[in-house]
Amino acid sequence: MDLSNRIILIGMPGSGKTTLGKELSEWMNLPFFDLDDLIESKEEKTIQQIFGQEGEDAFREMEASTLEGFCNSHNKFVLAAGGGTPCYYNNLELMNANAKTIYLDVSAEALFERMNKTAVEKRPLFKNENVLDKIKSLIESRRPFYEKAKHRLMSDSISVEDISGILKEESH
């Protein structure tokens, strides 16, 4: 399968998957998708509602099946995964088999600075938590998954040029 037009961005909430994904999609002239948005339209509920009414396990199941359905039905895309996507079911293997995966590795401190009140409210995992501690513990447990991405950018100020740079390098 030709993966050059299939890109998936992974990393913690606030790492820039959606913002950079949109920029990259314009840069590469590819359609942009956000896995959370796809789940919300499929379920006709917000992520907060799904977590609140059905719980995290149900959300993870929907996430895995939406991801699989998406990979099977799209040829060209930039996809922003959810922060936890690579860590459940065989999502990581599926993403690596179907796309170029890029891990946006941003420090806990920088993620924390970006997490304003609205960003916290939109993300049920941070509800009633000390946000910095939660970010640190999530990074700790997720790093082994994130690090299996095909590419990794480690910086607190990743740009679309950095992403296209590693993709170009690879194609040479």
Beta bridge partners of 102: 9, 151
DSSP H helices in 33-159: 35-43, 47-54, 56-73, 91-98, 108-114, 117-122, 131-146
**Binding interface with ligand S3P (CB under 6 A):** 13, 17, 36, 47, 82-84, 123-125
Tokens of 131: 């946000």
Between residues 2 and 44, which has the closer beta carbon with respect to ligand S3P? 44
Between residues 125 and 132, which has the closer beta carbon with respect to ligand S3P? 125
Between residues 17 and 100, which has the closer beta carbon with respect to ligand S3P? 17
Determine if residue 118 is labeled as part of a ligand binding site. Answer: no
The CA-atom distances, in angstroms, between 113 and each of 41, 120, 158, 161 are 30, 12, 15, 23
Q: How far is the CB of 161 from ligand S3P (least distance, A)?
A: 22
Q: How far is the CB of 17 from ligand S3P (least distance, A)?
A: 6
Which residue ranges are tagged as binding site for Mg(2+)? Answer: 18
